[in-house]
Chain A
Amino acid sequence: MNLSFVTIVSGLPRSGTSMMMQMIEAGGIPVLTDHQRTRDEDNPKGYYEFEPVKKTRDDPSWVPTARGKVVKVIYSLLYDLPLEYEYRVIFMERNIYEVLASQKRMLQRSGKTGANLSDDKLAELFKGQLNKFNHWIHNHRSFAMLPVNYSDIVTAPQLLAEKINTFLGGGLDIQAMVRAVDPALYRNKL
């Protein structure tokens, strides 16, 4: 596959981005990752992260090397991407309280702290940020976006894989994408 665009998997942290990365990798698109953040109980199959993504605002030199590959970028870092490239963004959507429950478990396990706010307040803030993000991305022609519901990965993987294949221009191994789905990973379901 010789793709001219950068494939991005995005969303809130703990919205299923790693699972989507596994699917797309199985489909045949190489993953851009440095494996610095190793697998753990929160992400048993690995995080699929690429550290330079966090420093894109200061150094976006990794971006052209990502053409033809898939890279994970959380929603708030998409603003930093240079606009002269083409991006196809698969954006994970998940029940916000499932996301927060998963974030809370991850923070507890790592012994780190996040925002000291109630779930309701944090949910409101994240929804506001996603709203703002949606306005922004729809007004930038460098980006095409496919919203994906997290639960569809488990309940309708074949249909979802077909949609992703079409969005990314075809040529993916749909059956391999379906086989990559691990329903046991659907944790923190409300």
Chain B
Amino acid sequence: MTKVKIDNKLYERAKKAAEAAGYSSFEEFVSSVIEKELALLEASPDDDKAVSEQLRGLGYIE
């Protein structure tokens, strides 16, 4: 397992939010947040192409 250092205040806020949202542990909450962020950041070239088609159709890029 890898350890990550985060700001104490951020940790306290995140811990409270995780408990309120029903996560079984803080680790589960952090993993879930990272998974969601990665899904957004790791979009495929096909996805980028689709967005470009949309923007081009609307006349905002060439």
Contacts and interface: CB of A to CB of B under 8 A. Distances in A.
B55 A13 contact: yes
Nearest to B58: A13
Nearest to B50: A115
A116 B43 CA distance: 17
Size bin of chain B's contact surface: 20 to 34
Interface in B16-62: 37, 39-41, 43, 47-48, 50-62
Interface residues of A, number: 29
Nearest to A14: B58
B40 A55 contact: no
Nearest to B53: A115
6 contacts: A76-B60, A113-B53, A114-B56, A122-B51, A124-B40, A129-B43
Interface of A: 13-14, 37, 54-55, 74, 76-77, 103, 106-107, 110, 112-117, 121-122, 124-129, 131-132, 135
Interface of B: 37, 39-41, 43, 47-48, 50-62
